[in-house]
Every structure is written in structure tokens, then in C-alpha cells.
Structure 1
Amino acid sequence: MDMETITENEKVRVAKKIKKMFGHIDQRTAEYCPIRDVMALASDKWSILIVLYLGYYPILRFNELKKKVYGISNKVLSEKLKFLEADGYLSRTLYPEVPIRVEYELTDFGHSYLQKLLDLTEWVTQYSDIILANRKKSGKSTTKVF
């Protein structure tokens, strides 16, 4: 699969966007970088999988999510759900039943993030052959499957 050629104009346009994002921040003294802070949570493998599964299954309970997000511990899942809820990606509904029932679903904000994730996952799918070939060439062909 051949990659599309990136023109110099496109590279310049991207560089300008990045400068606009970071130009006002002195990286040597900044204690807080909003992009790094938000991306650290929103782009880790567990959060991405949680958002993708909640995009496919509109409402999931904790144990259903745990089964779908294979390999995640209860502690990490609970942590990620709290952070995603606090940032507004998902909502948590508690039903005062015995036993207590808790359901999670994406908010409108979470759905807007899901759209961006889908763009990225489509890109990964489109170029996975190239990525795997490059890994093989570099001797880094083993990957950890999660």
C-alpha cells in the first residue's frame, strides 16, 4: 500500500497549526500543558477502548465493560471511568437497586471525541501493513497484544 504524498504546502500548514497550539507555551517553565494533560488521559489504550466500546454498545455496566476491554483490571477500569466521567466523555447513572446498578454511556462530547478516534483507527487500519513492514525491517516485529 503506497502512502499518499504529503506536499510541502501541507507540511507548512501543519507546522503552523502546531505552532499555534504550542507557540504561547514556554515548554521549559510550563508546569501545565493542556494538550499533554488532556491527551494523556484521552489517548491511553484503556480509555480509547472504553470510548470505542461505549460507541458501539450505547450503554454498558462495569462488568460488561470489563469483559469487552480484555486485560484491564478492576482498579484500572474504575480509575479510567472516573477520569473519563470527570472530563465529560461519559456519564454514569446509578440506580438505587439491590444490588446497585451502574451504567455508563458516552455524552455528546464523548461522541465528538469518538468521531476523531474513528478517523485515527481508520488511518491505522489503512496503514497497518506499512507499520508492520517497517517494524519487521527494523527488527521490532514483536508487539504486545492487549
Structure 2
Amino acid sequence: MTGSTEATAKPDTRRRGPYVCGLDAAMDVVSGKWKALILWELEAYGTRRYAEIRRGLPGVSDKVLAQQLREMETDGLLHREVFPEVPPRVEYSLTEHGVALNAALAPLGDWGTGRISRLAAEDG
């Protein structure tokens, strides 16, 4: 039976190098539509439960959010704490590595805010 479990497990499609530059390595960690927004949500509001993150990201499916959170935990961006309670309570928070990545993404967010303003001005 062990072989059948392995056969149905999804392969890890994320890259782990070799990278051609630092930007390549950084983009590997934040790839996916929701990861930067998850980082922002946790930076803005602090420790959050799954449902709170989900409410803060309208449009994300449960499947995709769970996958993105798992990948971010594996990449050392998030800390996932499970409390031994009934019903179970799980909280997510940024690690030091996640805080640093969020700080690195802040100028990109500033650029995006400027883009939104430019597009609004063009639309009149």
C-alpha cells in the first residue's frame, strides 16, 4: 500500500535552484498569485487564523490557499502553530525571513500604487 500512496502524492514542482541570479531565487519563493498578498495580510494584521486570511483574500480558493500556505511554511516564510484544543486552532505568523521578504517587496508595492494612480489618471 505504501507504493500507492507515493504514486498519488503530488510532486513538488517548485524549483530549488540552481538559480541564475538572486531575483530568480526570490521569484521562486513568491511565485503564485497569492503569496505576496498573504505576506501583506500577515504583515498588516499580525498573527491570523486560516479563515481570517481567507476573508482577507477574496477570490482565493481553499485548495490554493492551503497549498500556498504549505509552500510558504516550507520556504521558511511562515510559522504555523497548532494549538492542542478541540476544535483545533491553527495560527499563522511571519517568520523573520518572511518579514525581510515583505520589506524587500515594499518598493514593488509602492511602484504598483503609482501604476494604479497613473492608470486612473489615463482613464480620466
Q: CA deviation at 1:127?
A: 3.1
Task: State how far apart, in whole Å, the 2-side matches of 1:79 and 1:41 are.
Answer: 13
1:71 and 2:59 matched: yes
Q: CA deviation at 1:45?
A: 2.1
**Residue 108 of structure 2 aligns to a residue in which SS?**
helix
Task: State how far apart, in whole Å, the 1-side matches of 2:26 and 2:117 are.
Answer: 30
Task: State how far apart, in whole Å, the 2-side matches of 1:38 and 1:117 are.
Answer: 10
Mark the CA change 1:42 to 1:110 in structure 2 (over 3 Å): closer, same or farther.
Answer: same
Q: In structure 1, list runs of 5 or more residues that go unmatched.
A: 1-31, 137-146
TM-score for the superposition, normalised by structure 2: 0.74
Equivalent position of 1:51 in the other structure: 39
Q: CA deviation at 1:33?
A: 4.3
Equivalent position of 2:72 in the other structure: 84
Q: CA deviation at 1:69?
A: 0.9
Please tell me whether the aligned partners of residues 29 and 75 of structure 2 are also in contact (alpha carbons under 8 angstroms).
no
Aligned residues: 104
TM-score for the superposition, normalised by structure 1: 0.63
Equivalent position of 1:120 in the other structure: 108
Task: State how far apart, in whole Å, the 2-side matches of 1:42 and 1:83 are.
Answer: 10
Off by >2 Å, runs of 4+ in structure 1: 32-38, 127-130
CA displacement 1:99-146 (0-9 Å, x = unmatched): 00000000010000001111100011123344x38x98xxxxxxxxxx
The share of aligned pairs that are identical, in percent, is 37
